[in-house]
Amino acid sequence: MKMVIAIVQDHDSQRLSDRLTKNNFRSTKLASTGGFLRAGNTTFLCGLEDARVDELLKVIDETCGNREQTVAPVTPMGGNADSYIPYPVEVEVGGATVFVLPIEQFERF
């Protein structure tokens, strides 16, 4: 058994949830917040058999694509403002951060 933890941008969340259901993956969705852009993310927790991990990773990869987005940086609150960029910048967002963890024991009640 494996536990797959996938952190995706909110923009991709509903499409991924639909694809997981369509492909018979059980998952739990958690609201989360990213550190870099302080934007909303969704964290999916999926427990599954080892043999299905590659299939799940393929679904995540196909659903959560990278894209460019213009963001306005947050103003510094105290500290050194030397590195502060006062104008919007293009950053790459999207994709997914995925962790695959071994599970010692799994129970469903």
pLDDT digits (tens, 9 = 90+) for 55-95: 999 999 999 877 666 666 665 555 555 555 567 776 666 68
Percent of the chain at pLDDT > 90 equals 53
For the full predicted model, state whether its pTM sits above 0.85.
Answer: no
- Tally of residues, the chain: 109
Report the 10 Å Cβ neighbour count for 25: 20
In this predicted structure, the answer to whether residue 100 has a pLDDT above a threshold of 80 is yes
**Tokens in use for 17?**
């949830």
Tell me the C-alpha to C-alpha distance, in Å, between residue 72 and each of 21, 77, 81, 84, 88: 35, 15, 15, 11, 4
